[in-house]
């Protein structure tokens, strides 16, 4: 039996770890252990996500809590090292690019415990993004690297990662989406928000915005809101607002401006099924989220990404995603083009078929820990 610690720390991790846990629980050779670092923890939202995604409650919760990048990463490392020394897992599996991913990878690597990185090789080429630093360090330490797209394979090879460590398996986020999308479409979110037209969803947009580069600078945030003000005059825009964004709107004196946008619907953060139901019925999505770029591509929904770069170029080359930076005019004109019948049709990228977690588990079942030990000695 191979004991594998599966690490979650923040909301995006839940959607990635859920199908992996499910697949591992069917593998007799693997004992999966779900470890929640507590990097982001909201009792109400965590409960919703665990219920929506059928995730078992964490076997272990380190309850580290929030803090600066350094404080949070250090806290996770201290708690996770103690856990690994006591429990001695055979492998540590991390997903994505949050601080928990980096912290647990460093600890495991120094304790000579093999590190598996799911969603390896994604690169924005922008080291001002903390996530990019987390990705680079984690991939440099990982012993098994699972990728979502062919460009990620090439990134890793260019950085000197041996080809035998790299496995192109597809996208676990899409595993979760495909499993739950039908159920999500039966959510009553449209009725609750008054977004029905003759019993069917009306035309509306969805927006998420949380990155410091977009919301921490008053001029940038004001420019984005100016574009949104024009877009919401053409169709309702639903905006589940991140606490950081709401705080900055208030502190920068933009609250009254937002209040005047009669068709901009501000909501508290939503659970997975409600949010997926909302996105799947939308006309367009405005976002700075990485995962939402992938989900809209899988759903065939036009996506406008308010960033200067993306670590997911497959959503641009093959999917429905358009990169517009923070240019208020480009945000507005791209949205209007979509509303007039434009926007990318896109196609589903290779291996985004709902079976990535099965492929991951099958590879790990056959992975030889002895080979790792011989390399470590």
Q: Which of 117, 190, 210, 230 is catalytic?
A: 210
Residues 6+ apart with CB under 8 A from 84: 5, 92, 107, 108, 111, 113
Helices (H), the chain: 11-25, 43-52, 69-87, 99-110, 130-141, 150-158, 172-184, 189-193, 212-215, 218-231, 243-251, 255-259, 272-280, 290-299, 314-317, 328-339, 356-366, 369-376
The DSSP output letter for 353 is: S
* CA dist list (Å): 328 to 69, 215, 221, 273, 320: 30, 14, 10, 31, 20
Beta bridge partners of 144: 116
Number of H-type helices and E-type strands within the chain: 18, 15
Spatial distance between the Cα atoms of 38 and 53, rounded to a whole number of angstroms: 18
Residues 6+ apart with CB under 8 A from 312: 122, 149, 290, 293, 294, 321
Spatial distance between the Cα atoms of 168 and 270, rounded to a whole number of angstroms: 31
Going by C-alpha positions, the residue among 55, 25, 20 that lies closest to residue 272 is: 55
Residues 6+ apart with CB under 8 A from 293: 287, 303, 305, 310, 312, 315, 319, 321
Catalytic annotation on 69?
A: no
Catalytic residue list: 210
């Amino acid at each position: 039996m191979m004991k594998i610690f599966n690490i979650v720390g923040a909301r995006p991790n839940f959607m990635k770890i859920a199908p992996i846990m499910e697949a591992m629980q069917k593998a007799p050779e693997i004992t999966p252990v779900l470890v929640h670092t507590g990097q982001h923890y909201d009792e109400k939202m965590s409960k919703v996500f665990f219920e929506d995604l059928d995730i078992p409650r964490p076997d272990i919760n380190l309850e580290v809590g929030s803090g600066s990048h350094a404080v949070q990463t250090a806290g996770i490392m201290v708690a996770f090292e103690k856990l690994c020394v006591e429990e001695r897992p055979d492998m540590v599996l991390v997903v994505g690019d949050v601080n928990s991913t980096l912290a647990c990878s460093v600890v495991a690597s120094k304790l000579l415990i093999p590190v598996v990185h799911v969603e390896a090789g994604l690169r924005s080429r922008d080291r001002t993004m903390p996530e990019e630093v987390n990705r680079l360090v984690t991939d440099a330490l990982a012993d098994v690297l699972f990728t979502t797209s062919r460009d990620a394979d090439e990134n890793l090879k260019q950085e000197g990662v041996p080809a035998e460590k790299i496995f192109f398996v597809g996208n676990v986020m899409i595993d979760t989406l495909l499993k739950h999308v039908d159920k999500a479409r039966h959510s009553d979110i449209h009725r609750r928000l008054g977004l029905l037209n003759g019993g069917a969803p009306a035309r509306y947009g969805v927006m998420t915005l949380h990155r410091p580069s977009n919301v921490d600078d008053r001029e940038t945030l004001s420019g984005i809101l100016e574009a949104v003000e024009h877009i919401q005059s053409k169709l309702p825009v639903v905006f589940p607002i991140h606490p950081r964004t709401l705080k900055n709107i208030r502190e920068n004196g933009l609250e009254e401006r937002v209040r005047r946008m009669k068709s901009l619907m501000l909501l508290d953060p939503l659970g997975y099924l409600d949010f997926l139901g909302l996105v799947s019925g939308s006309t367009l999505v405005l976002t700075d989220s990485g995962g939402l770029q992938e989900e809209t591509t899988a759903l065939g929904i036009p996506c406008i990404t308010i960033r200067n770069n993306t670590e997911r170029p497959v959503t641009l080359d093959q999917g429905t995603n358009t990169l517009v930076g923070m240019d208020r005019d480009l945000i507005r004109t791209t949205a209007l083009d979509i509303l007039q019948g434009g926007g990318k049709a896109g196609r589903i990228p290779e291996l985004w078929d709902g079976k990535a977690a099965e492929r991951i588990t099958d590879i790990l079942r056959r992975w030889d820990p002895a080979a790792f030990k011989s390399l470590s000695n």
